[in-house]
Structure 1
Amino acid sequence: MTQTAQTDAQVLVPLTTPEEVDQFLQDYPLAAVFKAGTCHKTMQGFGVLETFLQRFELPVGYIRVVDWRPASNHVAQLTGIMHHSPQLILFQAGEPQFEVNNWDITPQALAPVFQAHVPPRAEAGSVATDDNVEPYRRLMRAFLDGALSEWAFQDQYVNLFRDDASLRSQREFDLLSRLFGDPDAYHGGLHQLGAPQARGDLKERVQALLTELG
């Protein structure tokens, strides 16, 4: 496959082996590799990237590091760039041009790079991200039905969110993070998040979120 100036759909390719990494970089002279980790940092980082992919034409290969470690190690060997996850590396003609990692994957970091190196789309595009919000829906329904107390719901929801490494859209990330804010606060104990009602009526907010998720 040869890269063209415009394509109808976002190219989002799983790279599970070193050979697939090499083929992807050969097929797409201008491309990026996104390394996905095992927690919500991946979800947040990909959400930021997704907003740019709607407006710019950039094929992306993604590596789920835990599952496809040889592919991840191959990228590190090719580039000489220390592994992080999440991690975004921009390639041109097979050579790394830019990298950004972890919480540094922000609109402020990506904007000048995309504007300088990546062609804009003729029309806004869509990205086929992971569609697996059902675990959140089930948890919210259980709480609204009275099967979970406020504290039990907060505990389970924050743990689910903290360990979620899905490739989600920015919209989904923003919606799912709205209930309890930064899940890293949970590492020191649930009390650090405060009472479940601290941000207003919890049932009302959960019902509103469930409605928005559809």
Structure 2
Amino acid sequence: MTQTHDAQNDASTPAQVLVPLTTPEDVDTFLKEYPLAAVFKAGTCHKTMQGFGVLETFLQKHDLPVGFIRVVDWRPASNHVAERTGITHQSPQLILFQDGQPQFEVNNWDITPEALAPVFTAHVPVRDGVASAAQGGGIEPYRRLMRAYLDGQLSDWAFQDQYVTMFRDDASLRSQREFELLSRLFGDPDAYHGGLHQLGAPQERGDLRPRVAELLSELN
């Protein structure tokens, strides 16, 4: 089973364990190998990015191996978790296991610090030291879009539409810091149920160009 660790951690600090679970066999092997572990099901939109960002803040301070399933790509693994636990599939979804048995689940927008804090406090050991933040799914597409806008290749409206669409469809496993930075410009796309036109004029949130330049600087 392939494990992905953060290579930037100090050798004295145990790395985060983040394991892709691509098959039902991977799921069973992972839960057998780690008596206390969690499975995170990743969906196809920014809810996954936000949910994992919340989880990642706890993983920096707590020692909990996490197996992740990209539901669209690895559906048999996702179905196996549902069959094994009896828990109805949702995404994003976080399930905590002890000795292979589900102990806690939380889904979608309910993956919040308030929901996770008591569970981690009660069940998950604190790690020695602080693990480095998880590496996201790549910031470069956002950087390219912002550079194109700042270079005058896109109007305010075109930039807003492309940025919000990119963010809405981003299901990367990002740190909480990355999520907060990327959501700063236009907020939560799900707030605009009637369509992206409900965002209003790009300048309604203040002068857009300086804010984009500031964000690009922070992402570099």
Q: 2:102 corresponds to which residue?
A: 96
What is the CA-CA distance between 1:131 and the residue it aligns to? 4.0
Q: 1:110 aligns with which of 116, 139, 144?
A: 116
What is the CA-CA distance between 1:191 and the residue it aligns to? 2.5
Unaligned runs of 5+ in 1: none
Matches within 5 A, 1:159-174: 159-174=165-180
Aligned residues: 210
Identity, in percent, stands at 80
Q: 1:181 corresponds to which residue?
A: 187
Q: 1:147-188: CA deviations, max 9, x gaps?
A: 000000000000000000000000000000000011113442
Q: 2:34 corresponds to which residue?
A: 28
Q: Indicate conservation of the 8 Å contact 2:13/2:130, yes or no.
A: no
Q: 2:135 aligns with which of 129, 144, 153?
A: 129
Which stretches of structure 1, 4 residues or longer, exceed 2 Å deviation after superposition? 127-131
Q: 2:212 aligns with which of 183, 189, 206?
A: 206
What is the CA–CA distance in structure 2 between the aligned matches of 1:186 and 1:148, rounded to whole Å? 22
Q: 2:70 aligns with which of 64, 79, 83?
A: 64
What is the CA–CA distance in structure 2 between the aligned matches of 1:187 and 1:161, rounded to whole Å? 15
Please give the root-mean-square deviation of Cα atoms over the aligned residues, in Å.
1.3
Unaligned runs of 5+ in 2: 2-11
The answer on 1:119 being equivalent to 2:143 is: no
Q: Indicate conservation of the 8 Å contact 2:14/2:127, yes or no.
A: no
Q: 2:45 corresponds to which residue?
A: 39
Q: TM-score by structure 1 length?
A: 0.95
Q: Indicate conservation of the 8 Å contact 2:40/2:67, yes or no.
A: yes
